[in-house]
Amino acid sequence: MRSYLPDYPVINPTSLDEALEVLAAKSNIKPLAGGTDIMVYMDTGVFPASTLLNLYSIQDFSKTPEFSDGHLKLNPLSTYQHARTDQAIVNAFPLLAIAAKEISVLAVQSRATWIGNVANASPAADGVPALMAYDAMLKLSSKDGQREVPLHQFYQGYKQMDLQPNELITEIQLPPLDPGWKDYYRKVGTRRFQAISKTLLAGRIKLNEGRVIEDIRLVFASVAPYTLRAVQTESVLRSRPLTPEIIDEAAQAIQDEISPIDDIRSTETYRRQVTTNLIRDFLNSNLTK
Amino acid sequence: MHIPRKEEEIVKRTISRNDDFRVLQHNIKRPEGIDKVTGKAIYIDDLQTENHLYGKTIRSTVAHGILKNIHFKDGIPWDEFVIVTAKDIPGKNVVTLIEDDQPYLCEREIMHKAEPLALIAHEDKHLVEKALNYVEVEVEELPAIFSIEDSQQNKVTLQQSNLTNEFHVGLKEISEDVWTECDQIIEGTYETGAQEQLYIETQGIIGQVDFDGDAIKKVSVWGSMQCPFYIVKALMPLFDVEETQVRVVQTETGGGFGGKEEYPNILSGHAALLSWKAGGRPVRMIYDRQEDLWATTKRHPSKITIKTGFKSDGTLHAMDIDLNLNAGGYITLTPLVLSRALLHCWGPYRCANTSANARAWLTNSIPFGAFRGFGTPQAVFAMELHINKCAAELNIDPAELRRKNLLQYGDTMPTGQVMDEKIDLDFLLDRSLEKSDYVNRRQQIEQFNQSQKSSGGLKRRGIGLCMNFHGGTFAGSGETHMNSHVAMTLDAKGHVDILAGQVEYGQGTITTFVQIASEVLGIPVEWISKHQPDTDVVPDSGPTVASRTTIVVGKMVERCSQALLKKLSEVGLNKDYTANEFQQAAQAYHNKHNELLYVKVKFEAPPDQLEWNEETYEGAAYAAYTWKCDILEVEVDLVDYSAKCDKFISVVECGRVLNPIIAAGQIEGGNAQALGFGLYEDTVLQEGGMANNQYTNYIIPTTADIPEMDIEFIEFPYLDYGPYAAKGIGELPIDAPAAAVAAAVAHAMGNHFICDIPILPEKIMVVAEQAEGI
Ligand SMILES: Cc1cc2nc3c(=O)[nH]c(=O)nc-3n(C[C@H](O)[C@H](O)[C@H](O)COP(=O)(O)OP(=O)(O)OC[C@H]3O[C@@H](n4cnc5c(N)ncnc54)[C@H](O)[C@@H]3O)c2cc1C
């Protein structure tokens, strides 16, 4: 059953300060970015009555991401479309472009924001894993000031975030990348496009001359209550030579780190098996290169 | 203007010519096409009304129980609402269809989740949605059953008996002697799920009742539908009114696939009841996607067991088929669906000993109903996958096993019907093998799989082949009982309007009828229109279902056009007239009679049509059959266990093709929907209710999941039952590809057959991880 629209008044702040002021003064405020998650929640009637804070009315936010000296800053209105079409970003952070292309269709990609994807905190989010694999940092702002939180420490449980009711996510920062990393992104849904992930791996690996894993990132969707960076499995692999044996070890380790469930989209067994297959596929593809 | 066909000219000839006709066989533009693509077409939600209310349905959240009470809780201005419960109903609380088991609104026993319990309406669209949250339904729950097995075992008895219908064809049973004559006996059980029609436009009806004092003057409904006259018949007893007091108008309809065959009866009743209670204000009831998926019918789930006996050379000698359908909580159209499933279950094969039994079972699932194919896709899936499985077990190529057993001209089918069409299924098969390069591809694929296995590769490929027939029109003597009519008017300017109850819902009804009339009348297609189905104006030409529109009603359009010419000959229209002379004759007719020229024809069964015996299920089940062979390939990925169809050819025999693009479109669409049935579409039924009732969770294939298709039409010589020897084509394509794709997956997986569809990656995983040698 749909939500009752008059239950959702909208406030249109014109500046960031004004928005932060509203957040500090009132309770039960929900930021509204692209609205592509919120609209679905309203359609199914699961969005609690609240006041919407329309971020589109804020003049301070430019939509285009800032990219200089290898630093990328995504602001609250930066959409997937930007990451797909800005060639400098595509070259520097290819996973963002790949993830952006996998998310829904052009209409949604042109409206939906990266920050909305982060703040929606869905374990099935497709944008978050790419950001997390690049060690994204979040800038949180409130009337009282600003703080920074690494994205991989931002989630604390299902839809639980290190985010206060008076705070707004005002930036996602990606640090410059050092060379030598290899990227991997594979989304698994029941059909090729327009699918909610049943599991997903955004992976990055840096091998040195002697085929030793200098560093690695393994980020998964839909196999834990929130986007999971598999730090334990990463540490099994880090500083070890990439061999078939160590791939087996990693495939074993990931099983203890994930906690997938049965739901209307898939089964726990399938998610476990395919997650293992994804790790193997990722590591195997680097074995011989 | 009948053009006789020379048999030898047509046999084994593929259709590429369009020289015989002026209009037919040409891709004329859809008359309604521009309005559709420019947004001008008026769908039900676009229809403007004044002073209207929005109607909503209060539904059951339990699968089985006794309705005790409905409480309207505080927080909503209920006095502003119009509320209808079963008690209010002025006439009979029965949805008129086949059995009298389904009420418009539940009175006592709830049979399934989503069952309508009461109706509310208000002029504020948002408030009426919100109000649904303030209704509490008190129910005493009863134990419920959901599967065919539980229904068969009588775990709970629903109505008088869980068995709704049983039909039988062929031998009573196959004797032990016959089985011992077989060298190899192979058995298999096949299951299919509750596919959803997923028309783009959701169900929607606007109802309005006019009064004459306190008495009902007229009950009118407008909306998205396939069968306007079904609705007339359903509304008459509901309001206890005469046929002339009911008017049903079809608005532009965005897809149906059978989903708008019987369900609009219910929705029309609901909208009209609210309008009646509201003193005649129009009531709009347009479902959103979630409600549509939650509340409306789907394809009957099936469980079919087939036992076949073969001689050592691969000759099919005995066939025992046990076909079961899940009917859901009410009977709806189940007996007809069951009958059609039964009449297609033996496939296009000759077999000396056949016994086929079909039964349908009540459960507490949502009622299942009409869906393109109407039972046939379930039956064909089982038989065609079984033949592939037999081929694997007999170690014969599936194409060769078929060739050995294909039905031939003059053969007798299990119903006793003699195949008197000059069919040539060997040619159909040969063309398909040639087109798909089947023999080479099969070999290459097997080599590919070998090399993948030995190199640790994670791709497997498979090729699958299926053949099938589809009986067009209503089964047996259904068409004669239906007593359809078609009419035409001609105005003074020479404009012809075709009057028929057939609806356009995307499949090309208007174009086809206009083409046929234009061909007969010898006037441009622009001078001809098809009247919007409005039961006050058009005659009942039967429902728009069962692949009957072209073959049956199209034939009547042809005859009606001839009748019109006959009338014009009375005012001096000569034999070889020009379009101009046609116009002059139209003018002359009007000058003489001072009224619209109106002609009407009635269905006539072909004189030589065989009898059909409803009791014994013997005789000519269908007047005409269409034929098809599909060959497709899949690639299975062993990382995520997905199967993707990436090559697809179909060779089709459907009589003369009247409009090549529309025909090819029907085949491509049917093939795509069948791939959905086979690989993707999984209605997750929780206690018989659809748990994944959103686009995002009910996965249909998109263009990215469907390959480009190569489609070819061939023609067998055929008695002229349909117009210009055309047959129907709407359902044929959806019957077999699910089996073809399942066969291809089995081929890719080293002959491990997954026999229940959809074949989701989760199922392929189990085979890949557990079976040897993949
Ligand atoms: C058809 C369709 C397909 C989709 N497909 C995909 C898909 O394939 N993969 C995928 O990951 N997602 C998908 N989505 C979901 C959605 O598009 C994404 O999650 C999107 O990134 C959300 O961004 P938004 O700007 O629309 O967020 P909104 O809906 O505006 O907001 C989402 C949440 O974030 C909060 N929020 C927004 N901005 C801020 C902020 N600055 N600070 C704090 N909180 C904030 C909101 O209050 C809300 O709770 C799909 C949605 C639709 C409708």
Whichever domain contains B492, its CATH number is 3.30.365.10
Residue B639 to residue A1, Cβ atoms within 8 A: no
Does some domain include residue A289? no
Whichever domain contains A152, its CATH number is 3.30.465.10
Looking at the fold, whether B591 and B620 belong to one and the same domain comes out as no
Looking at the fold, whether B469 and B489 belong to one and the same domain comes out as no
Looking at the fold, whether B465 and B525 belong to one and the same domain comes out as no
Q: How many angstroms is it from A36 CA to the middle of ligand 1?
A: 5
Looking at the fold, whether B628 and B642 belong to one and the same domain comes out as yes
pLDDT tens digits, B636-649: 999 999 999 999 99
pLDDT tens digits, B505-538: 999 999 999 999 999 999 999 999 999 999 999 9
Helices (DSSP H) in A123-239: which residue ranges? 127-133, 231-237
Residue B87 φ then ψ, to 5°: -60, -30
Looking at the fold, whether A194 and A219 belong to one and the same domain comes out as yes
- For an interface test with B, which of A264, A267, A269 has the most B Cβ atoms less than 10 Å from its Cβ? A264
Domain boundary among A156, A174, A192: A174
Report the 10 Å Cβ neighbour count for B382: 28
Q: What is the mean pLDDT of chain A?
A: 96
**Lowest-confidence pick of B226-230, B397-401, B603-607:** B603-607
Looking at the fold, whether B282 and B135 belong to one and the same domain comes out as yes
Element of type H or E holding A221: strand A213-221
Q: How many angstroms is it from B217 CA to the middle of ligand 1?
A: 52
SS3 content of chain B, % helix, strand, coil (to 5): 35, 25, 40
Report the 10 Å Cβ neighbour count for B573: 19
Does some domain include residue A53? yes
Q: Which long-range contacts (CB under 8 A, 24 or more apart) does B173-176 make?
A: B173/B320, B173/B355, B174/B309, B174/B318, B174/B319, B174/B320, B174/B353, B174/B355
Q: Is B63 a residue whose pLDDT tops 70?
A: yes
Whichever domain contains B224, its CATH number is 3.90.1170.50
Over range A81-95, report the average pLDDT: 94
Nearest Cβ partner for A5 among B126, B694, B704: B126
pLDDT tens digits, A73-82: 999 999 999 9
Does some domain include residue B357? yes
Q: Which residue of chain A comes nearest to B762, CA vs CA?
A: A270
pLDDT tens digits, B229-257: 999 999 999 999 999 999 999 999 999 99
Q: The tokens of B639 are what?
A: 């990382």
**Owner of token pair 């030409």:** B541
Whichever domain contains A257, its CATH number is 3.30.390.50
Confidence of residue B623 (pLDDT cuts 50, 70, 90): confident
Q: Is B684 on the interface with A (CB under 8 A)?
A: yes
Looking at the fold, whether B645 and B542 belong to one and the same domain comes out as no
Over range A4-26, report the average pLDDT: 95
Confidence of residue A289 (pLDDT cuts 50, 70, 90): low
Does some domain include residue A29? yes
pLDDT of residue B1: 29
Looking at the fold, whether B540 and B593 belong to one and the same domain comes out as yes
Residue A270 to residue B130, Cβ atoms within 8 A: no
- Ligand 1 pocket test, pick from B696, B697, B698, B699 with the greatest ligand atom count within 8 Å of Cβ, gives B696
Looking at the fold, whether A119 and A149 belong to one and the same domain comes out as yes
Element of type H or E holding B627: strand B624-637
**Contacts A191 to B, Cβ<8 Å:** 680, 699-702, 704-705
Q: What percent of chain B has a predicted confidence (pLDDT) above 90?
A: 91
**Lowest-confidence pick of A254-263, B219-228, B469-478:** B469-478
Does some domain include residue B535? yes
Could you give the number of structural domains in chain A? Answer: 3
Q: Which residue of chain A comes nearest to B289, CA vs CA?
A: A43
Q: Is B640 on the interface with A (CB under 8 A)?
A: yes
CA distance B631 to chain A (A): 22
Over range B717-734, report the average pLDDT: 86
Q: Which residue of chain A comes nearest to B458, CA vs CA?
A: A281
pLDDT tens digits, A108-153: 999 999 999 999 999 999 999 999 999 999 999 999 999 999 999 9
Query: Model-level pTM?
Result: 0.96
Looking at the fold, whether A124 and A189 belong to one and the same domain comes out as no
Identify residues of A whose CB sits under 8 angstroms from chain B CBs.
1-2, 4-6, 40, 43-45, 186, 188, 190-196, 264-267, 269-270, 273-274, 277-278, 281
Does some domain include residue A51? yes
Domain boundary among B571, B602, B633: B602
Report the 10 Å Cβ neighbour count for A30: 15
Looking at the fold, whether B467 and B488 belong to one and the same domain comes out as no
Q: The tokens of B278 are what?
A: 């509201």
Over range B733-742, report the average pLDDT: 98
Residue A2 to residue B769, Cβ atoms within 8 A: no
Q: Is B69 a residue whose pLDDT tops 80?
A: yes
Residue B79 CA to residue B378 CA, distance in Å, equals: 49
Nearest-CA residue for atom 52 of ligand 1:
A36
Looking at the fold, whether A141 and A224 belong to one and the same domain comes out as no
Q: Is B12 a residue whose pLDDT tops 80?
A: no
Looking at the fold, whether A10 and A49 belong to one and the same domain comes out as yes
Q: What percent of chain B has a predicted confidence (pLDDT) above 70?
A: 97
Looking at the fold, whether A200 and A156 belong to one and the same domain comes out as no
pLDDT of residue B476: 82
* Shortest-distance atom of ligand 1 to CA A118: 34
Does some domain include residue B405? yes
Does some domain include residue B589? yes
* Stated length of chain A: 289
Q: Is A221 a residue whose pLDDT tops 80?
A: yes
User: The domain containing residue A145 runs over which residues?
Assistant: 66-174
Q: Which residues, numbered 719 to 758 in chain B, qualify as contacts with chain A under a Cβ-Cβ cut-off of 8 Å?
A: none
pLDDT of residue B11: 41
pLDDT tens digits, B560-585: 999 999 999 999 999 899 999 999 99
Nearest-CA residue for atom 8 of ligand 1:
A103
Over range B375-397, report the average pLDDT: 98
Cross-strand pairs, A147: A140
Nearest to A221 by CA among A260, A253, A250, A263: A260
Does some domain include residue B183? no
Residue B362 CA to residue B154 CA, distance in Å, equals: 10
Q: Is B685 a residue whose pLDDT tops 70?
A: yes
Could you give the number of structural domains in chain B? Answer: 3
Beta-carbon contacts of B444 under 8 Å, excluding residues fewer than 6 positions away, are: none
Q: Secondary structure of B354-388 in the HEC alphabet?
A: EEEEEEEEECCCCCCCCCCCCCHHHHHHHHHHHHH
Residue B641 to residue A274, Cβ atoms within 8 A: yes
Q: How many angstroms is it from A56 CA to the middle of ligand 1?
A: 14
Over range B128-145, report the average pLDDT: 97
Residue A267 to residue B696, Cβ atoms within 8 A: no
Maximum distance among all alpha carbons in chain A? 64
Looking at the fold, whether A53 and A70 belong to one and the same domain comes out as no
Residue A274 to residue B699, Cβ atoms within 8 A: no
pLDDT tens digits, B250-286: 999 999 999 999 999 999 999 999 999 999 999 999 9
pLDDT of residue B10: 39
Residue A273 to residue B765, Cβ atoms within 8 A: yes
Maximum distance among all alpha carbons in chain B? 86
Beta-carbon contacts of B693 under 8 Å, excluding residues fewer than 6 positions away, are: B289, B290, B293, B294
Q: How many angstroms is it from A122 CA to the middle of ligand 1?
A: 9
Q: Is B637 on the interface with A (CB under 8 A)?
A: no
pLDDT of residue B607: 72
Q: Which residue of chain B comes nearest to A281, CA vs CA?
A: B639
In this structure, the strands spanning B184-192 and B302-310 are antiparallel
Residue A274 to residue B639, Cβ atoms within 8 A: yes
Over range B375-393, report the average pLDDT: 98
Looking at the fold, whether A153 and A242 belong to one and the same domain comes out as no
- ipTM exceeding the 0.85 mark: yes
Residue A274 to residue B705, Cβ atoms within 8 A: no
Q: Is B692 a residue whose pLDDT tops 70?
A: yes
Domain boundary among B602, B637, B663: B602
Q: Is B143 a residue whose pLDDT tops 90?
A: yes
Residue A191 to residue B701, Cβ atoms within 8 A: yes
- Ligand 1 pocket test, pick from A37, A128, A167 with the greatest ligand atom count within 8 Å of Cβ, gives A37
**Owner of token pair 């990925």:** B637
Q: Coil, strand, or helix at residue A32?
A: strand
Element of type H or E holding B299: none
Domain boundary among B547, B572, B602: B602
Nearest to B308 by CA among B415, B388, B224: B388
CA distance A228 to chain B (A): 19
Over range A29-33, report the average pLDDT: 97
Domain boundary among A174, A208, A231: A174
Q: Which residues, numbered 425 to 484 in chain B, qualify as contacts with chain A under a Cβ-Cβ cut-off of 8 Å?
A: 458
Looking at the fold, whether A232 and A278 belong to one and the same domain comes out as yes
Nearest to B292 by CA among B607, B617, B57, B599: B57
Q: Which residue of chain B comes nearest to A196, CA vs CA?
A: B696
User: The domain containing residue B564 runs over which residues?
Assistant: 478-602
Looking at the fold, whether B464 and B336 belong to one and the same domain comes out as yes
Beta-carbon contacts of B660 under 8 Å, excluding residues fewer than 6 positions away, are: B15, B18, B25, B26, B27, B713
DSSP per-residue letters across B193-232? -------SSPPEEEEEEEEETTEEEEEEEEES-S-HHHHH
Handedness of CA A60, A66, A72, A74 (dihedral sign): positive
Write out residues with Cβ below 6 Å of ligand 1.
A 30-38, 40, 55, 76, 103-104, 108, 112-113, 115-117, 119-120, 125-127, 168-169
Q: The tokens of B61 are what?
A: 């959240």
Looking at the fold, whether A169 and A185 belong to one and the same domain comes out as no
Domain boundary among A174, A198, A224: A174
Looking at the fold, whether A115 and A198 belong to one and the same domain comes out as no
Q: How many angstroms is it from B611 CA to the middle of ligand 1?
A: 63
Q: Is B140 a residue whose pLDDT tops 70?
A: yes
Looking at the fold, whether B75 and B209 belong to one and the same domain comes out as yes
- For an interface test with A, which of B134, B293, B639 has the most A Cβ atoms less than 10 Å from its Cβ? B639
Q: How many angstroms is it from A120 CA to the middle of ligand 1?
A: 6
Looking at the fold, whether B279 and B322 belong to one and the same domain comes out as no
Looking at the fold, whether B643 and B718 belong to one and the same domain comes out as yes
pLDDT tens digits, B436-478: 999 999 999 999 999 999 999 999 999 999 999 999 888 888 8
Q: Is B19 a residue whose pLDDT tops 70?
A: no
**Owner of token pair 């990436």:** B646
Residue B262 CA to residue B95 CA, distance in Å, equals: 9
**Contacts B700 to A, Cβ<8 Å:** 191
Confidence of residue B15 (pLDDT cuts 50, 70, 90): very low
Rounded to an integer, what is the distance from CA B398 to the centroid of its chain? Answer: 28
Looking at the fold, whether A219 and A276 belong to one and the same domain comes out as yes
pLDDT of residue B9: 40
Strands, sheet with B597-602, edge to edge from the N-terminal-most edge strand:
B528-530, B496-499, B485-490, B597-602
Report the 10 Å Cβ neighbour count for B552: 28
Residue A281 to residue B458, Cβ atoms within 8 A: yes
